[in-house]
Amino acid sequence: MRLRYGLNPQQATADATPVTPGTHPVRVIHGQPSFINMLDALAGWQLVHEAATLLGRPAAASFKHTSPAGAALSGPVDEVTATLFGGTGSVDSMSAVTSAYLRARDADPKSSYGDFAAVSHPVDAGLARLLTGIVCDGIVAPGYAPGTTAQLSQKKGGRFLVIEADPSFTPPPRETREVFGIRLTQDRDQVRLSRDHLKPAGTGQPLPQAAVDDLLLGLTVLRHTQSNSVCYVRDGMTVGIGAGQQSRIDCTRLAGAKTDTWWLRRHPVLRDLPFAPGIRRQEKIGWQVRLAEGSLAPRERDRLAQALTAPAADHAGELSPAQRAQWMRRLTGVAFTSDGYLPFRDNIDEAHRHGVTCIAEPGGSIRSDEVASACREYGIRLAQTGLRLFQH
C-alpha cells in the first residue's frame, strides 16, 4: 500500500506492506493514510480489541501521535460530555459504541482535537453522525453499518480515513523494526492480561470488582502507550494519561494534572458557562480547560468575557482556591496503573492527590516496601502485577 507520505511530508515515499503476504490486519476503505495515520490505526485497533475482549464491553480510543489521548468502555455519558457533543445523558439513548467513543474523547478533549478514532465494534449511524460533526482524521473499526461508509467518506472534503480491521487476524510471533541501518527483532508480547495479574500486595486487601475492571483497562491502555507511561481510570474511562516521559514521577504529575482538569470541568461554574451564540465546540472546550487549569492571563480574561453572554465584572468563570480545593476533595474512586515499577513513594504521594484509591504496578523496585508502606498510609489498595508493559 502506498502511503500519502512518511512521518513528515518531505518523506514523500512511504509504503505499508504485510509481513506475511496475503494477510492484512486492516484494509483501507476510503482515503490515503499517512505513516502516522497507519501507526495510530494499528495501535488503536489493538487497544480497543484487547480491552473489549478482556472486559466484555465495547471499547473506544482516541489516538494522537501513536499514544491514546483517551480510552473508555461503553457506559453512561455525563452532562458535561453530553452538552458539549450534543448527545444525551444516558447510555440508554445512544449505542454502546457511541458512548464508548464519547467517553474516550472527553477524557482529554483538548488533545483529542484531530484524533484518530478506534472502536471495537462496528460503526453505526449514531457514531457516524457524531464523527461528521467533530474534528477527527479517521477511524478504524471491525465493520460499518450500511450507509455509514459513504457518509464518513464525505468528511474533510473526502479526505477522512475509513479503515476496517480484521478481528480474526493473528500477528506473527516475531516483530521487526529497522532503525538507522540496524534491524531489531524481538518476540511479540503475547501475555494476556487477566485478573490473576492483580494480586493484592502491601495492604493485602482484596480489590472490588469495579476497581479490578478499571485497573485492567488502565493496564491495557499502557500496553499501547509510549513509555514511560501511567494512567488514571475512573468508572471505565481514562481521565488522565501521562505518556513518553523520561521520569515516572513526571508521568504521574502530568496525568494527575489532566485528571484534575477532567474533574474540575464538572464543577457547576465551569459546566454551566454561559457561552455566547456562535461559539464553537472546541473553543468552549478550550475555555473550560483553561479555567480548570487556572491562572488566566489578563488578555485571556478579556477574550473569555467576549465569549460569554453574561460574564461577571471580574474573573468570569474562575474558581477561587477554596472552591477548587473543596471540589477536588470530592474526587475519589480513581484507579492508577504504571507500565513500569514505581521507583519511589513520591508517585504514591502524588497519585493520592488526585483521588486514587487503588494502584497496579509491576513491583520489584528496591523500594517496593516503601511504596507499599505509602499505600497503607493513604488507605490505597495495591496490586503488584509482576508484568512490565513498555511500548516504544
Q: What is the DSSP letter of 156?
A: G
In the numeric block, the cell 464519547 is attached to 102
What is the C-alpha to C-alpha distance for residues 218 and 335, in angstroms, rounded to an integer?
Answer: 8
**Backbone dihedral region of 247: left (phi > 0), alpha (psi from -120 to 50 degrees) or beta?**
beta
What is the C-alpha to C-alpha distance for residues 304 and 309, in angstroms, rounded to an integer?
Answer: 10
136-141 and 26-30: which strand pairing?
unpaired
Active-site residue identified among 65, 156, 199, 284: 65
Contacts for 234 with CB less than 8 Å, ≥ 6 apart = 214, 333, 334, 335, 355
Give catalytic status of residue 65 as yes or no: yes
CB-CB contact of 256 with 232 (8 Å) = yes
Active-site residue identified among 49, 228, 347, 354: 228
Contacts for 22 with CB less than 8 Å, ≥ 6 apart = none
Give catalytic status of residue 228 as yes or no: yes
What is the per-residue DSSP string for 87-142? Answer: --S-GGGS-HHHHHHHHHHHTSTTTTTTEEEEESS-B-HHHHHHHHTS-EEEEEES
What is the C-alpha to C-alpha distance for residues 119 and 42, in angstroms, rounded to an integer?
Answer: 12
What is the C-alpha to C-alpha distance for residues 111 and 286, in angstroms, rounded to an integer?
Answer: 10
CB atoms within 10 A of CB 183: 8
What is the per-residue DSSP string for 91-104? Answer: GGGS-HHHHHHHHH
334-338 and 356-361: which strand pairing?
parallel
Active-site residue identified among 30, 37, 49, 64: 64
What is the C-alpha to C-alpha distance for residues 62 and 40, in angstroms, rounded to an integer?
Answer: 9
> Residue 89 class from Cβ within 10 Å (0-12 exposed, 13-18 middle, 19+ buried)?
middle
Residues taking part in catalysis: 64-65, 228, 392
